[in-house]
């Protein structure tokens, strides 16, 4: 049996950052809004992100900031310009959570946690009259155009808002709420959906058993990583840190290259990642150091003393070329600055930080409304954009949620006038 109910003029489906900021904009404008989520609490992925300090946004100049969104820049730019990083910091301060800029330019709340911010946020939403409904799984639409939700007890309910904002997230970390099932629902309505893929993810490497057992869980510090392209001009290099795992490699520098690496694997079946263990030294400097007499030192001790290489670096070189490293100083110097590691696949989407793919941006108008479904808006990670870690993911989610809410307000005003 389907229970039919009238509901608030606007339904927001998804209690993450995009959905909650949309609800805040709407309720502040005096529009009754109900937020639905299939989980028992809101903001679970936000709280997970908060374990690492909750990187809200980034302080870099707007032009450089926008470039982080790649092909989606032209679509997202108006919403981010309307709700930039300064606006997000002001919003957090309004909730009693002052922010600071870290040494990398990333912006964090001083509490370095998500929980205080989320508590204050939900309290504000309640004060503004926002209604919350938990354990409500969205199933799509019924024949009359009502939104169908399944309760935790299995019962089904249809609600009939005047407008809806979909903010259901991607498909990474599904245990926190976003499982990507909405893709099939929208595809049945004719909405074009790009396949959901892991973004900001680690990658699989077939390590030897000896290397895996000895070095899993150990970091690679201050390295430069290069994703090999078709030509030297296509190579992309980032500096930072990474982590060896039992099944591959992950970490901040890997995440920054993940879209390039993922696309390379899709096209070639594998990607070659080059690791430079001495990015601040020239090849000639390395060659001269390696040309010094080794004496009775083992090759490991010689490399450690001559170049300061760690055991993990030396053994990664051996993973690449075998137990016997080159003895020619010039050849060895080149290896130190370009250790090849073959990546065979991205880690499963369930382990990825975020998701690529989703609703094609061409399916949306400038107000984030689906062209095929009047009155239905979408925001956040379920749209086909991706960005590196560093505050860009949350900024994009917040800005698109604000834009969708403003689109709803314009839609309701237009509908009332028509």
Sole residue written with tokens 């900024």:
395
Kindly report each contact of residues 305-311 with a partner whose C-beta sits within 8 Å and lies 24 or more positions away, as own/partner: 307/277, 307/278, 307/281, 307/336, 309/277, 309/278, 309/336
Helix (H, G, I), strand (E, B) or coil at 240: strand
pTM of the model: 0.92
Tell me what the mean pLDDT of segment 297-308 comes to: 94
Tokens describing residue 209 = 């058993």
pLDDT for residue 53: 83
pLDDT for residue 418: 57
Average pLDDT over the chain reads 94
Q: CB-side exposure of 299: number of CA atoms within 13 Å?
A: 13
Count of Cβ atoms closer than 10 Å to residue 341 Cβ: 19
Nearest to 167 by CA among 25, 6, 72, 7: 25
Q: Is beta strand 339-343 parallel, antiparallel or unpaired with respect to 271-276?
A: antiparallel
Nearest to 393 by CA among 257, 200, 111: 200
Note the pLDDT tens digit of each residue in 55-109: 999 999 999 999 999 999 999 999 999 999 999 999 999 999 999 999 999 999 9
The secondary element (H helix, E strand) that includes residue 27 is: helix 17-28
pLDDT for residue 1: 44
Say which residues have a Cβ less than 8 Å from residue 128's Cβ, sequence separation at least 6: 24, 27, 28
Torsion of CA 220, 225, 227, 230, to 10 degrees: -140
Tell me what the mean pLDDT of segment 292-315 comes to: 94
Where does residue 223 rank: exposed (0-12), middle (13-18), buried (19+ CB within 10 A)? buried
Helices (H), 252-298: 252-268, 283-290
pLDDT for residue 2: 53
pLDDT band at 232 (very low <50, low <70, confident <90, very high): low
Packing angle of the helix pair 283-290, 299-307 (nearest 10 deg): 130
Sole residue written with tokens 């960005």:
387
CA distance 98 to 78: 26
pLDDT for residue 6: 59
pLDDT band at 331 (very low <50, low <70, confident <90, very high): very high
CA distance 55 to 107: 6
Q: For residue 407, which phi and psi values (nearest 5 degrees)?
A: -65, -40
pLDDT for residue 5 is more than 70: no
Note the pLDDT tens digit of each residue in 117-134: 999 999 999 999 999 999
Task: State the chain's maximal CA–CA distance in angstroms.
Answer: 89
Note the pLDDT tens digit of each residue in 181-218: 999 999 999 999 999 999 999 999 999 999 999 999 99
Nearest to 328 by CA among 366, 365, 286: 286
Tell me what the mean pLDDT of segment 243-264 comes to: 95
- Residue-range domains of the chain with CATH: 2-199+351-417 (3.50.50.60), 203-346 (no CATH)
Note the pLDDT tens digit of each residue in 385-410: 999 999 999 999 999 999 999 999 99
CA distance 74 to 297: 57
CA distance 358 to 385: 8
């Amino acid at each position: 049996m389907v229970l039919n109910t009238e509901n608030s003029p606007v339904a927001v489906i998804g209690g993450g950052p995009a959905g909650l900021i949309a609800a805040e904009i709407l309720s502040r404008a005096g529009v009754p809004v109900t937020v639905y989520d299939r989980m028992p609490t809101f903001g679970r992925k936000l709280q997970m992100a908060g374990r690492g300090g909750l990187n809200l946004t980034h302080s870099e100049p707007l032009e450089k900031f926008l470039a982080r969104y790649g092909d989606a820049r032209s679509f997202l730019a108006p919403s981010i310009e309307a709700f930039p990083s300064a606006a997000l910091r002001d919003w957090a301060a309004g909730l009693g959570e002052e922010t600071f800029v870290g040494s990398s330019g990333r912006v964090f709340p001083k509490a370095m946690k998500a929980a205080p911010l989320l508590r204050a946020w939900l309290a504000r939403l309640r004060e503004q009259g926002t209604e919350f409904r938990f354990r409500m799984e969205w199933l799509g639409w019924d024949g009359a155009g009502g939104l169908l939700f399944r309760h935790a007890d299995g019962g089904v309910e249809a609600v009939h808002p005047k407008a809806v904002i979909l903010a259901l997230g991607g498909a990474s970390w599904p245990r926190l709420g976003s499982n990507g099932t909405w893709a099939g629902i929208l595809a049945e309505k004719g909405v074009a959906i790009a396949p959901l893929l892991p973004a900001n993810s680690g990658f699989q490497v077939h390590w030897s058993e000896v290397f895996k057992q000895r070095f899993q869980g150990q970091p690679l510090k201050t390295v430069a990583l290069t994703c090999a392209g078709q030509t030297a001009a296509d190579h992309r290099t980032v500096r930072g840190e990474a982590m060896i795992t039992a099944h591959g490699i992950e970490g901040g520098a890997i995440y920054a290259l993940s879209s390039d690496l993922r696309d390379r694997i899709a096209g070639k079946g594998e990607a070659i990642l080059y690791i430079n263990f001495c990015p601040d030294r020239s090849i000639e400097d390395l060659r001269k150091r390696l040309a010094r007499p080794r004496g009775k030192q083992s090759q490991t001790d010689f490399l450690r003393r001559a170049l300061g290489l760690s055991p993990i670096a030396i053994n990664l070189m051996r993973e690449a070329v075998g137990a016997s490293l080159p003895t020619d100083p010039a050849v060895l110097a080149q290896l130190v600055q370009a250790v090849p590691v073959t990546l065979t696949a991205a880690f499963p989407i369930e382990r990825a930080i975020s998701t690529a793919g989703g609703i094609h941006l061409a399916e949306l108008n400038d107000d984030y409304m689906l062209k095929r479904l009047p009155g239905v808006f979408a925001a956040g990670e379920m749209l086909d954009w991706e960005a590196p870690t560093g505050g860009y993911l949350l900024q994009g989610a917040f800005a698109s949620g604000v834009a969708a809410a403003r689109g709803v307000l314009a839609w309701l005003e237009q509908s009332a006038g028509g």
